[in-house]
Amino acid sequence: MGLGGWIEVGRMDELGRLDSPVHRVHAQAKTVTTGLFVVAVMSFARDEVSALTPFFLYPLALMALGKIPPGYLVRKVLMAAPFAIAVGMFNPVFDRQPAFAIGALTVSGGWLSFASILLRFALTVSAAMVLVACTGMHRLCAGLERMGLPRILTVQLLFLYRYVFVVGAEGSRMVRSVELRASLTRALRFRVYGSLVGNLLLRSMARADRIYRAMLARGFDGEIRVLRPARFRLSDLAFVCGWAAFFAAARFWNLAGLLGSLLTKGVS
């Protein structure tokens, strides 16, 4: 996550401000549905692979209807993949029990659970990102606050979100100025790091002070007020119930297996 990381946050922010049928669904409904999705996916057995594939319908449908560019999300999932691979790749090493055979090739349980880990990772990560990209930070935080998140934590998330661009740009400028003056090819030296980050900290604290004075000047009295989000409608309830029904069906019956056996029965 290089120093341009905070720019990514801005890109997601832009996507969150688009308008589409998915964007108009209430943030609480989407959060609850995503929560159910994650629980359903993670509750499968270790080596379940085929039954996971129908779950891709949820993020893909939201992406298509929400006008999220698919390449963008796929790239982010791939960028985050190395950790899942690093953790999962021990499974084929430690679990060599053969699970089934395709022709002359026997597949061990370890490879199955590795594939399962990768699928689960892709599913949960894309669901989380689609949630943010289709909702936007403000509506999401407002929805979370309605669901019981402590107000100070909601406010903290919104402030962090608001100032990560400002402080990030400041940090980028500072690092670039050091690079220009020192022809750096690698990371900073430790002594320089201490004073650079220390300076960034001092500037951040001074900025916080200015922000507080600006809030006081605009009438801040210690009480944080959050804008009320849109009301929960029947269509939002239908959204949650419909997807929950699909998750339940896909969890308890192996839909991919059913489809496969239907097709092979039709062929033979």
> What are the phi and psi torsion angles at 108 (to 5°)?
-85, 160
- Judged by CB under 8 A, the stretch of 20-28, 191-199, 240-248, 249-257 that binds other proteins is 191-199
- Residues in region 124-183 near other proteins by CB under 8 A: 124-125, 127-129, 131-132, 150-153, 155-164, 166-168, 170-171, 175
**Position 55 contacts other proteins (CB under 8 A):** no
Task: Provide the 3-class DSSP secondary structure of residue 161.
Answer: helix
Sort 30 into a burial class: Cβ within 10 Å, 0-12 / 13-18 / 19+.
buried
Q: Whole-number minimum distance, CB 124 to other proteins, in Å?
A: 4
Give residue 104's identity as a one-letter amino acid code: A
DSSP lists the bridge partners of residue 108 as: 98
CA 155, CA 211: separation in Å to the nearest integer? 14
Report the amino acid identity of residue 124. T
Q: Which is nearer to other proteins, 225 or 259 (CB)?
A: 225
Residue in 37, 23, 8 with CA at minimum distance from that of residue 244: 37
Nearer to other proteins, 63 or 266 (CB): 63
| C-beta separation of 6 from 220 below 8 A | no
Which of 19, 71, 83, 234 is close enough to bind other proteins by CB under 8 A?
83
Write the interaction track for other proteins spanning residues 195-224; mark x where CB under 8 A is met and - where it is not: xxxxxxxx-xx-xxx-xx--xx---x-x-x
Nearer to other proteins, 1 or 234 (CB): 1
Q: Does 38 bind other proteins (CB under 8 A)?
A: yes
Taking the complex as a whole, the smallest distance from the CB of residue 179 to other proteins amounts, in Å, to 12
From the CB of 268, what's the least distance to other proteins, in Å? 37
CB of 262 to other proteins, least distance (A): 30
Among 57, 72, 95, 146, binds other proteins (CB under 8 A): 95
Contacts of 64 (CB under 8 A, 6+ apart): none
**Ramachandran angles phi, psi of 21, nearest 5°:** -55, -35
